[in-house]
Amino acid sequence: TALKELQNVLWAYRTTPYSTTGETPFRPVYGTEVVIPVEVGEPSRRTEHPLDEEMNDEALREERVGPRRRNPNGSVSPRGLPETKNSCPT
């Protein structure tokens, strides 16, 4: 029927990544990637072990920059970047 077809078209639109952003419209709205419903009863690794976004972001950052280090003033800077001195007069 036309209603069922419209639902399928809208689902495809909402779950297809845009070429400009590489993101689906679903992700910014719901804060997670879409998982397409499967009619088979077998759970997938993706649904059984959902990705922890915060842990993933931290792992990717460490892979690119390296682990963080604490500065004497208490701020945190990535390893490999020069420490900046506070240029404000006291």
* CA-CA-CA-CA torsion sign (38, 40, 41, 42): negative
Show pLDDT as tens, one digit a residue, over the chain (90 residues): 788 889 888 888 888 888 888 888 888 888 877 776 664 456 666 656 666 777 777 777 777 766 666 666 666 555 555 555 555 555
pLDDT score recorded for residue 86: 55
Residue 87 falls in which region: left (phi positive, over 0), alpha (psi -120 to 50) or beta: alpha
